[in-house]
Amino acid sequence: MSRIIDKGLEEQTVLLTRMGELTYETLSLAIRCYFEGKNVQAQVKEMSDVLVAMAGKVEDKTFELIARFQPVASDLRAIKSYMKISNDFARYGRYALDISSINDHLHSPKHCEWTRDYLVEMGDKVLVMVKTSIDALRKHDVNLAKTILPIEREIDRMYEDFLNKLLSQEEITNKCVAASILVTRYYERIADHAVYVCEAIVYIVTGEKISLD
């Protein structure tokens, strides 16, 4: 038998799924256009602002559900986690905006020799992590959420290897160094937030607090 609160929880899930879809679209646009040297900062900012507004709606709905329906422990677990996930999605949008601003302030990666290929590969892996976190949320799939760990470890390894290689290159320009370090750092933070989303999904479904990093 369905409860009144179930409709509210379903609405939260639908809103978060829409946030996830917009999140992936925003990050994909920012990363792709960064490598193409295109200025999409205004468009990405608009999309990021929408994500922030949607996170605000999730927060408002959270307080409404708590105030109106006196949720039981399992409901509170989901409500709390949904609000946290919405904030993680909003952070995705912020990092997308940061990436889209680099061409204006520093340098297009097409002039940055070997670093471009490395960043393309790392960006592809980051987008896989983001998509995995979104799909796991949509399906409330614990097993899918846990598959994110090997990719996150690969991102961490690539980040450290990249910094070490960058330090050994004398011919690379200062602008390329600065841009590359910023992008890889944003990638690493996006990957971390994808892990946080997956940890929250496991908590929603099982009640178990785990660390996937």
CATH number of residue 25's parent domain: 1.20.58.220
Helix (H, G, I), strand (E, B) or coil at 112: coil
Structural domain span for residue 27: 4-206
Residue 149, in any domain of the structure: yes
Q: Would you say residue 211 lies in a domain?
A: no
User: Who's near 133: CB < 8 A, 6+ residues apart?
Assistant: 20, 145, 148, 194, 195, 197, 198, 201
189 in a domain, yes or no?
yes
Q: How confident is the model at residue 111 (pLDDT cuts 50, 70, 90)?
A: low
Average pLDDT of the segment spanning 15-39: 92
Residue at token pair 């900012």: 45
The number of beta carbons lying within 10 Å of the beta carbon of residue 156 is 14
Mean pLDDT, range 104-121, rounded to an integer: 73
Question: If you average pLDDT over residues 171-191, what whole number do you get?
Answer: 83
Q: Say if 213 falls within a structural domain.
A: no
C-alpha dihedral sign at 69, 73, 75, 79: positive
Nearest to 75 by CA among 24, 144, 9: 9
Q: pTM of whole model > 0.85?
A: yes
In a domain, 212, yes or no: no
Answer whether residue 122 is part of any domain: yes
Using alpha carbons only, what angle is made at residue 159 by residues 157 and 163, rounded to the nearest 5 degrees? 120
Residue 106 pLDDT greater than 70, yes or no: no
**In the predicted model, what is the mean pLDDT of residues 140-165?**
92
Query: How many Cβ atoms sit within 10 Å of the Cβ of residue 42?
Result: 9
Q: Quick check: helix, strand or coil at residue 186?
A: helix
Q: pLDDT tier at 35 (50, 70, 90 boundaries)?
A: confident
Residue 157 lies in a domain: yes
Is the predicted pLDDT of residue 19 greater than 80, yes or no? yes
Q: Residue 67: pLDDT band by 50, 70, 90 thresholds?
A: confident
Domain count, the chain: 1
